[in-house]
Amino acid sequence: MASAPARLPEILFSRTDAEAAMVDAKTIAAELIDLARERGMHPVAVFDIDETLLLNHEEDDDLVAANPPVAALHAWLREEKGVTIYVVTARRWTEWSRKFAELQLATLGYPAPAELFMVNREHDDDPSASLFKLEARRKIAAGATSGRPHAVILNVGDQASDMMLMEPYSTYNAKFARRNLDPGAYHAIAHADGVSKVGLKLPERYTVE
């Protein structure tokens, strides 16, 4: 898919300082939450797991820590703003892997999300999981699991593939990401996927090709 999306992605801010990025993200999110409720929509947010809600140890998969600025944003959205939280991860689904992910999040103090989406066999050939993640966000927005449509006001992850379709589905988005997204910075992106109001891309600790 080489053509540009119907609405081009737009970078709302780029920050290298975590505190400044979270202040700006909260300002944007608060406006979107109010707007959603004015329109009779329930606001929700979507979070990735790895290098987003939690940080993995480079040498020991069993050692993880909460990502402080993201944990604070998660708590603010849920506790202060009444936003429902969904989690969408590129981890492959098995009964064991689901329980392990739930245990990791609970151990780090995260309440159970409204729904946890994990990659299924249908998307095994999706190298970046960008199509799987987009389809999960579409289901969330449509209310496929909750019975009512939602406004996805914020989508948070560390990879461009968490924000938008990437290759082989969109060469345009892949080029946009390479040209505009500093791997070491926080970026707020509007119109990234046609579903989320704003994507908050975090600094990368590794890159998914």
Distance CA 106, CA 108 (A): 5
Q: What is the mean pLDDT of residues 94-112?
A: 97
Tell me: the pLDDT tens digits for 152-196? 999 999 999 999 999 999 999 999 999 999 999 999 999 999 999
Tell me: the pLDDT tens digits for 55-86? 998 766 678 999 999 999 999 999 999 999 99
C-alpha 25 chain-centroid distance: 13
DSSP conformation letters of 9-66: -EEEEEES-HHHHHHHHHHHHHHHHHHHHHTT-EEEEEE-TBTTTEEE-SS-TT-EEE
Q: What is the mean pLDDT of residues 128-157?
A: 95
* CATH number, domain 10-201, options 3.20.20, 3.30.420, 3.40.50, 1.10.1060: 3.40.50
What's the token pair of residue 193?
């996927």
What's the token pair of residue 21?
């990025």
Helix (H) / strand (E) containing 75 = helix 68-75
Q: Are 126 and 20 in contact (CB under 8 A)?
A: no
Question: Which residues have C-beta within 8 Å of that of residue 95, sequence separation ≥ 6?
Answer: none
Does a cis peptide bond (omega within 30 degrees of 0) precede residue 9?
no
